[in-house]
């Protein structure tokens, strides 16, 4: 039981009786229509009731309407679909291209088609937070190691491959990647019996 107090302002929500085979805008994330009408309390400080739906406001609403899980708001006016789930996003970075939302830090709209700005072996990425080397995508805080040998047993990899690592607690010595300093000595990775 919720009582009227300092934290909650009580408001009521009436959900309509469902129409058979109709797709309703009822339900917070997926648009499901409820089987019966009911009242629901919500906190108007961070929630809103639009068209018989309660949603987080302003993060999951747009132009007096609740957004579904696959929708985003662009320029506080346009609702568009997205292929990814974005709950928290930078409003200024989201754009619309032919009704489809895209992250302008990763994609661009060319002649109504969304395309990668930067492509790493078929994966679109943001060069301000990630880097690509020969098809391997790492964050900017990581470094690349061309791994040719297993650091534990010394087995040779064929073909060798690039791997991301965190230089704070890992090191790449002689084409082996190991924990550093716990599994390294004198600029080389230690084997399992060393």
The number of distinct structural domains making up the chain is 3
Do both 100 and 139 map to the same domain? no
Query: For residue range 64-78, what is the model confidence (pLDDT) as tens digits?
Result: 998 888 787 887 777
Do both 105 and 139 map to the same domain? no
Q: Is residue 122 part of a domain?
A: no
Q: Which of 85-94, 148-157, 184-193 has the lowest mean pLDDT?
A: 85-94
Q: Which residues constitute the domain of residue 39?
A: 1-69
Give percent above pLDDT 70 in the chain.
Answer: 76
pLDDT of residue 18 exceeding 70, the answer is: no
Q: Is residue 194 part of a domain?
A: no
Query: For residue range 109-162, what is the model confidence (pLDDT) as tens digits?
Result: 999 999 999 999 999 999 999 999 999 999 999 999 999 999 999 999 999 999
Q: How many whole angstroms separate alpha carbon 186 and alpha carbon 194?
A: 13
Do both 112 and 149 map to the same domain? no
Q: Is residue 28 part of a domain?
A: yes
Q: Is residue 123 part of a domain?
A: no
Q: Is residue 121 part of a domain?
A: no
pLDDT of residue 90 exceeding 90, the answer is: no
Mean of the per-residue pLDDT values of the chain: 81
Do both 146 and 109 map to the same domain? no
Q: Is residue 88 part of a domain?
A: yes
**How does residue 14 score in pLDDT terms, banded at 50, 70 and 90?**
very low
Do both 58 and 99 map to the same domain? no
Q: Strands, E, within 82-174: which ranges?
A: 94-97, 100-103, 107-110, 113-116, 118-120, 123-125, 130-133, 136-139, 143-149, 156-165, 170-173
């Amino acid at each position: 039981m919720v009582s009227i107090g300092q934290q909650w302002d009580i408001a009521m929500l009436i959900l309509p009786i469902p129409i058979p085979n109709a797709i309703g805008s009822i339900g917070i994330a997926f648009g499901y229509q409820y089987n019966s009408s009911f009242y629901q309390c919500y906190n108007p400080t961070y929630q809103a009731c639009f068209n018989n739906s309660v949603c987080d406001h302003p993060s999951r609403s747009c132009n007096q309407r609740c957004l579904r899980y696959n929708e985003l708001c662009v320029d506080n006016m346009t609702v568009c679909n997205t292929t990814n789930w974005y709950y928290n996003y930078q409003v200024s970075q989201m754009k619309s291209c032919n009704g489809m939302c895209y992250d302008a830090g990763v994609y661009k709209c060319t002649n109504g088609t969304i395309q990668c700005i930067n492509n790493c072996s078929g994966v679109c990425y943001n060069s301000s937070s990630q880097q690509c080397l020969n098809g391997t995508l790492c964050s900017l805080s990581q470094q690349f190691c061309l791994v040719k040998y297993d650091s534990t047993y010394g087995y040779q990899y064929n073909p060798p491959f690039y791997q991301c690592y965190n230089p704070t607690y890992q090191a790449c010595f002689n084409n082996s990647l190991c924990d550093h300093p716990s599994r390294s000595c004198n600029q080389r990775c230690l084997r399992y019996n060393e």
